[in-house]
Structure 1
């Protein structure tokens, strides 16, 4: 169908795009049209733009424009740095990754739509002759962004989980002062080398901070340790000695004693052992 001045509807649509020989400038000049097309391509994200801006202070439309310009201008280092920033921001505010994936795919489709419009307006520049080179540049650039984004996102999440686990482990190592120089450390549950490292860090720090001279370590809540964990536990006892303090182990269960005997491990070189925590407290607090 013909419209005004004998133009088809498609012709009229093309007239809304500025005629420019530079894709970056072309996209900048048609910023409003770009955003409208992008929003129509990412319906689910479009309805959440305001909440994402509010929760994470992330302007999706502004950032989409930035990403597209980095891609078409071959600004790879800036693109990767931007992807890393985005990954951290989305991880920090626990934003939905599915929205990000949908949004970036919508950006890809929108960019190709604008490249097509650009090519139709500027046919005299033989833009399509370099299609395969352009295809590689555009798709590789967006794939590079996605790859860097997810690596950054995952790394931040892993670091957050590790720090939270470390905090929980610190809280699960309660060193309880029972006098000015004596403290008790009850150990409960299962242990691995990682948790033993946390215990060692906590013990050495608190010995210095609380001026502990005797640390009573109650193992009545532990039935077994593997060989590696026992070796780490020995290091904890050695560390206590090097700090100028004394350790006393109480509550060794038969299963754990048999395990140590089987492995040929003798903890009495580094510590004193007593049958029960109550007995030990009576001895040191009387």
Structure 2
């Protein structure tokens, strides 16, 4: 038999005491969340009041819809509560335990006030459907929020890990730090070519001092960056090749004949000056 949720919601609202439910939610939150300092008493009181108001609004309408403004507001409220709990050291488990408690509270409150019947069964199914949707939607928003946070952190790390500095007129320095995969290599190439165009660079120094290991794929990415820079009119100098990196390159049998290398960044900078026709000399102090 089809269930008419538009009429069951208001019936559920008539059968349960929302004021009692609000008191029990606040009491549970005080014992579990406030005691751990995940939420303070004022926050619990405000969140409980808003939660009950939104629940009442949704039940009064009956239909459970993700497009309902009240339901959307409830979802945002759940994420706000979850965010504060996590920010203060709590876990997702503490938050979903609160949701489970509220669900059980509604079910027990309904069963305590009416005799079992088909009508009650439909009301219970309505509440179970409502809370299942709420939990799934909240979890989906939580996953989306985490994904966005991770992507933002990765972008920040990418920017820090590929600093391109103009150390002299027409000379760019790019220290490569950590692991260089395909995604990062493409990002590095894009940023480097943009900087070459901006400052009209004639020499770039790629420093590998921060690279602990190197393989064929990594070297292939670096060669791509060097050749792309050459097409932009910038000569590349590879520096920071330590003995372990040199052995790896020899074992990989990679042709480095057309790529100029220097052992240190200092040597690479001297070579850059020479290629630009600059002469650097030490002046004697008076």
1:281 pairs with 2:269? yes
Q: Deviations over 1:60-111 (max 9, x none)?
A: 4312442465478241324774565346535655443344223212211221
**Alignment correspondent of 1:112:** 107
Shifted more, 87-96 versus 128-137: the winner is: 87-96
Describe the shift of the 1:242–1:228 C-alpha distance in structure 2 as closer, same or farther (beyond 3 A): same
Matches within 5 A, 1:1-286: 22-25=11-14, 30-42=17-29, 43-45=31-33, 48=39, 50=41, 52=43, 59-67=47-55, 70=58, 73-78=62-67, 81=72, 85-86=76-77, 88-90=79-81, 93=84, 94-95=86-87, 96=90, 97-119=92-114, 128-268=117-257, 271-285=259-273, 286=279
Contact 1:251 1:277 in 2 (8 A): yes
2:219 & 2:82 partners in 1: Cα distance? 37
Return 5+ residue gaps in structure 1 as ranges.
Answer: 1-19, 121-126
2:183 & 2:225 partners in 1: Cα distance? 13
**Alignment correspondent of 2:282:** none
2:21 & 2:132 partners in 1: Cα distance? 20
1:174 & 1:140 partners in 2: Cα distance? 52
Shift of 1:181: 0.6
TM-score scaled by structure 1? 0.71
Return 5+ residue gaps in structure 2 as ranges.
Answer: 1-8, 274-278, 280-286
Q: Secondary structure at the match of 1:158?
A: helix
Q: Secondary structure at the match of 2:22?
A: helix
1:214 & 1:21 partners in 2: Cα distance? 74
1:129 & 1:135 partners in 2: Cα distance? 10
Describe the shift of the 1:226–1:25 C-alpha distance in structure 2 as closer, same or farther (beyond 3 A): farther
TM-score scaled by structure 2? 0.71
Q: Secondary structure at the match of 2:207?
A: strand
Describe the shift of the 1:62–1:174 C-alpha distance in structure 2 as closer, same or farther (beyond 3 A): same
2:34 & 2:81 partners in 1: Cα distance? 17
Contact 1:184 1:217 in 2 (8 A): yes
The number of aligned residues is 255
Q: Secondary structure at the match of 1:183?
A: strand
Contact 1:217 1:248 in 2 (8 A): yes
Shift of 1:167: 0.9
